Chain A
Amino acid sequence: MSDTESEHLVAEPERPAGERPAVSVRGLRKAFGAKVAVQGLDLDVPHGCFFGLVGPNGAGKTTSLSMMTGLLRPDAGSAWVKGVDVWWDPVRAKASIGVLPEDLRLFERLTGSELLTFSGLLRGLPSDVVKERVPELLDVLGLTEAAKVMVVDYSHGMRKKIGLASALIHAPTVLFLDEPFEAVDPVSARSIRALLERHTDGGGTVVFSSHVMELVERLCDRVAVMHQGRLVIEGPTAAVRRGKTLEEAFVELVGERDASTKELRWLGTSSG
């Protein structure tokens, strides 16, 4: 740990061991030059929860998830996964998490099955366990036929699926998924949903960001809405919706203006 890190250490809130959340975040802050991407984020994600992180583009969701998973160092604040400080003891914290970043850059000159083997061994799994899990994951995610194709030749949806398989291979208890359903076809989305639900049913936790409000509304037990780097609201999905659809509640919360009928009156009038 570097000196700069210790300056920003925040103690995890005291709780009885049984009540400790799967993910806890306190005072997380990150600025890129003059632009503050995340300003003092506090968040608790209970165990076994399907947790949705929503917000408009540029709200700070990806930056927050990157800081929670040890991929981007925060300027201030701390994040704990199962009580382990991600930045104080990254090796132990990372052992229990699986990550699917939004900008999914993989070692794409490996074939799908090679990439999964690589991920498994990178995670320190014994090679016989890796050998067992790779075909299973490929099968569940419908990638068996593409197992011997280089990832560089995968479609966007297939990349998401192989990325998810890489995130799952070491059986993590907490999954951080940034836009996991983006560009995924409905059939694959269904199998991914089933997979994630099985994960939470077994006591695992999923933290995921998405723009698809219907999906978040249907899947998530709890939702956090971020806007301009701040947490606007966080709580059980029903409480956040307040009797409306999540999309209506979201638009209301972030104060995005509706496209006015006064604007662009010429739209659709061209004869050419």
Chain B
Amino acid sequence: MARHFLRLKLRLIGNGLRASWQRRLGLLFGALYGLSFAAVCFFVLALPRLVSKNGHSNRVGAALVALVFDAMFIGWLLIPLLGFGNDETLDPIRLALLPLTRRQLATGLFAASCVGVAPIAMLLGLSGAIVGFAPVGPGAVLVVAALAVQLSLCIVGSRFVTTALSGILRSRKGRDVLGFVGVLFGAVAGLGGQVIGHLGGHLRHPGHRLPAGSGALYWLPSGWAARAVARAGSGDIAAAVLNLVLAAAAVVLLAWLWVNRIEAALTTREAGGKKADNKSGDLFARPLAFLPRNRTGAMAAKEMRYHWREPRRRAGLMVLLGTPVAGLAVLLFGKVSDPAVVLLAAAGGLLIAQQMTTNQFGLDGAALWMNVASGGDPAVDLRGKNLATGVIGLGMVAAATVALAAGTGGWLYAPLALVLGATVLGIATAVGNVVSVLAPVPVPDSPTNLWQNNAGCLPVLVQMLGMAVTGLLLAPVGVAVAVSLATWRPALVPAVLASGAYGYLVWRQGLKVAARRIRGREPELLSIVGRRAEAT
């Protein structure tokens, strides 16, 4: 049975590659990414012995290998969830109609998940621990055994989690939550990378005090496998064997849980979410009551509700919340006292507008037919979208302004920062409008797959060009503000006001150019953004 599953997986990969050049390119990049990941892992795990003679036997080296093992384990638990639905061999429900025993299913699914870029990259990366820790003698066998246990732990653990959550993953709400988990995982992975760098730098100092809470590294079974590697490296065979047995027992337990879970996964369904999250059911319910009750207002309300309800956009919004947080960080860590630093809040407008306006129609996707079928002026739709961007963007800029002004006492600069923020938003939105119609990119349906898109070379080029144009258009504003700051600060008032007028004109012009380009070509735009993005 395992042979059939292996052939199925290979056939699916092969068919995917034959289907489109995007997939071939995807696999190529996946392989390159996997190889670079393997190289980094190999290097980090080999580091203890490369850097220091006793690196493999000190606490820092042990913490390093535990961190890498834990990160791998958590990665294996979470990443397949993000790709759920894209790999038919991961979802047992797809095999529900086949007359297979639980054992056949388990061996088959396990075999299928051993094939692919990730397991191979993992194996290559782990082998770094042999260089970094394996001593001469029986300890080397223990290191290799611990690596095999770690690999099995990752694969069986990921199978168990995917199977146990498959019902939830098929529900819309489950997938929405997962979108968040993905973003969170990305943030934690970044933090983990920094800690690895920090530990690597202290390998030569066995007495280096480990950060508080580093004991948590050994809470997971992957931590036990890591400790088995470290202890085997330092010659403590008994402790190594004990940890290895514990980790192997965890593999057996996970495998048992998984096999028992498969049957339940095949026969149960998650209840569909039918709960309303807007109690009034009114498009213009608070806090959107201020919007005009016309096409522009309807577009703006739809956009703003989407920013909160659609997981991809909500994740983007969460990232944008970083704007006021960054404002606070400038104060806390930068030790800035000049009240003019409040003006920096306006820079957040650039980030917000670029994220929200670069692919406005692509985000609508096939549902854009509703606008096209209704006729009407696409400029009105764009204005509505821009209104939503402006409200959200100005809100963020205002929050950053308040944070910076409260910290520096530069309240005098707050109104200027707001006008400047609106200017930056207007200019970047103008360019975003034009880029949106020149290079619309279809966005895939899957809300869990936050990073996949079908952007070809041309849209990417246009987007890059758009960023350059935004920079050029913002240059006069930057120069006016900088010169006023450096020479005579009261001049900031006319400089910022003139910038505001300039920003408004640029926005108007951008809207006009974009609308002219799109008018009469709505069906073509619909056929581009309505294209279903292929799952990779």
A interface residues, Cβ below 8 angstroms from B = 1-2, 69-73, 90-95, 97, 99, 101, 103, 105-114, 117-119, 121-124, 127, 146-150, 152-153, 166
* Contacts A/B (CB < 8 Å), 27 sampled: A1-B520, A69-B373, A70-B372, A70-B523, A71-B369, A91-B376, A105-B365, A105-B367, A105-B530, A107-B306, A109-B310, A110-B283, A112-B281, A113-B281, A114-B281, A117-B284, A121-B295, A121-B297, A122-B299, A122-B371, A124-B376, A127-B293, A146-B274, A148-B281, A149-B274, A153-B172, A166-B370
A111 near B301 with CB under 8 A, answer no
Known: A71-B523, A149-B274. A114 touches B305 (CB 8 A): yes
Give the 9 A-B CB pairs with smallest separation, nearest first: A148-B276, A94-B375, A127-B293, A105-B366, A121-B298, A148-B281, A91-B375, A109-B309, A113-B281
Report the bound CA distance from A124 to B296 in whole Å.
Answer: 10
The smallest C-beta distance from B385 to any residue of chain A, in angstroms, reads: 13
Say if the beta carbon of B275 comes within 8 Å of chain A: yes
Q: Which residues of B contact A70 (CB under 8 A)?
A: 372-373, 375, 523
- 14 additional contacts (CB under 8 A) given A91-B376, A118-B283, A124-B295: A69-B373, A91-B375, A105-B530, A106-B370, A108-B367, A113-B283, A114-B302, A117-B298, A118-B298, A123-B376, A148-B279, A148-B281, A149-B274, A150-B277
Q: Which residue of A lies closest to B172 (CB)?
A: A152
Q: B517-534 vs A: 1/0 string, CB under 8 Å?
A: 000110110110010000
Q: Which residues of B contact A101 (CB under 8 A)?
A: 369
Q: Which residues of A contact B299 (CB under 8 A)?
A: 122
Known: A1-B520, A111-B276, A147-B281. A121 touches B310 (CB 8 A): no
B374 near A113 with CB under 8 A, answer no
Q: Which residues of B contact A95 (CB under 8 A)?
A: 375
The smallest C-beta distance from A201 to any residue of chain B, in angstroms, reads: 25
Report the bound CA distance from A111 to B284 in whole Å.
Answer: 12
A90 near B375 with CB under 8 A, answer yes
The smallest C-beta distance from A72 to any residue of chain B, in angstroms, reads: 6
The smallest C-beta distance from B211 to any residue of chain A, in angstroms, reads: 41
Partner of B370, one of A73, A92, A119, A124: A119
Known: A117-B298, A119-B370. A71 touches B274 (CB 8 A): no
Q: Which residues of A contact B370 (CB under 8 A)?
A: 106-107, 118-119, 122, 166
Q: Which residues of B contact A119 (CB under 8 A)?
A: 370, 374
Q: Which residue of B lies closest to A103 (CB)?
A: B366
A122 near B273 with CB under 8 A, answer no
Tell me how many residue pairs across A and B have CB atoms closer than 8 Å. 115
Say if the beta carbon of B294 comes within 8 Å of chain A: yes
A110 near B302 with CB under 8 A, answer yes
Say if the beta carbon of B278 comes within 8 Å of chain A: yes
Report the bound CA distance from A146 to B279 in whole Å.
Answer: 12
Say if the beta carbon of B338 comes within 8 Å of chain A: no
The smallest C-beta distance from B189 to any residue of chain A, in angstroms, reads: 28
Report the bound CA distance from A117 to B280 in whole Å.
Answer: 13
Q: Which residues of B contact A113 (CB under 8 A)?
A: 281-283
Report the bound CA distance from A72 to B366 in whole Å.
Answer: 13
Report the bound CA distance from A38 to B501 in whole Å.
Answer: 52
B281 near A73 with CB under 8 A, answer no
The smallest C-beta distance from A158 to any residue of chain B, in angstroms, reads: 10
B367 near A153 with CB under 8 A, answer no
Q: Which residues of B contact A166 (CB under 8 A)?
A: 370
Report the bound CA distance from A2 to B298 in whole Å.
Answer: 29
Q: Which residues of A contact B186 (CB under 8 A)?
A: none
B526 near A71 with CB under 8 A, answer yes
B298 near A150 with CB under 8 A, answer no
Report the bound CA distance from A105 to B369 in whole Å.
Answer: 8
Partner of A149, one of B276, B284, B309, B530: B276
The smallest C-beta distance from A215 to any residue of chain B, in angstroms, reads: 24
Q: Which residues of B contact A146 (CB under 8 A)?
A: 274
Partner of B367, one of A69, A92, A107, A147: A107
The smallest C-beta distance from B437 to any residue of chain A, in angstroms, reads: 15
The smallest C-beta distance from A120 to any residue of chain B, in angstroms, reads: 8
Say if the beta carbon of B272 comes within 8 Å of chain A: yes
Interface centre among B284, B299, B523, by most A CB within 10 Å? B523
The smallest C-beta distance from B387 to any residue of chain A, in angstroms, reads: 14
A99 near B309 with CB under 8 A, answer no
Interface residue ranges of B453-501 to A (CB < 8 Å): none
Report the bound CA distance from A63 to B374 in whole Å.
Answer: 18
Q: Which residues of A contact B273 (CB under 8 A)?
A: 153
Q: Which residues of A contact B367 (CB under 8 A)?
A: 105-108
A117 near B283 with CB under 8 A, answer yes
The smallest C-beta distance from B287 to any residue of chain A, in angstroms, reads: 15
Q: Which residue of A lies closest to B303 (CB)?
A: A107
Q: Which residue of A lies closest to B171 (CB)?
A: A153
B306 near A109 with CB under 8 A, answer yes
B278 near A148 with CB under 8 A, answer yes
Interface centre among B284, B374, B376, by most A CB within 10 Å? B374
The smallest C-beta distance from B447 to any residue of chain A, in angstroms, reads: 9
B302 near A118 with CB under 8 A, answer yes
B274 near A122 with CB under 8 A, answer no
The smallest C-beta distance from A161 to any residue of chain B, in angstroms, reads: 15
Q: Which residues of A contact B284 (CB under 8 A)?
A: 117
Interface centre among A95, A122, A147, by most B CB within 10 Å? A122
Interface residue ranges of B3-28 to A (CB < 8 Å): none
Q: B353-381 vs A: 1/0 string, CB under 8 Å?
A: 00000000000111101111111100000
B283 near A114 with CB under 8 A, answer yes
A94 near B373 with CB under 8 A, answer yes
Q: Which residue of B lies closest to A170 (CB)?
A: B374
Report the bound CA distance from A99 to B277 in whole Å.
Answer: 28
Q: B305-330 vs A: 1/0 string, CB under 8 Å?
A: 11001100000000000000000000
Q: Which residues of A contact B371 (CB under 8 A)?
A: 122
Report the bound CA distance from A119 to B373 in whole Å.
Answer: 10
Known: A114-B283, A121-B295. A72 touches B305 (CB 8 A): no
The smallest C-beta distance from B513 to any residue of chain A, in angstroms, reads: 17
Report the bound CA distance from A117 to B367 in whole Å.
Answer: 16
Known: A2-B521, A71-B369, A107-B370. A121 touches B375 (CB 8 A): no
B375 near A72 with CB under 8 A, answer no
Report the bound CA distance from A97 to B275 in whole Å.
Answer: 33
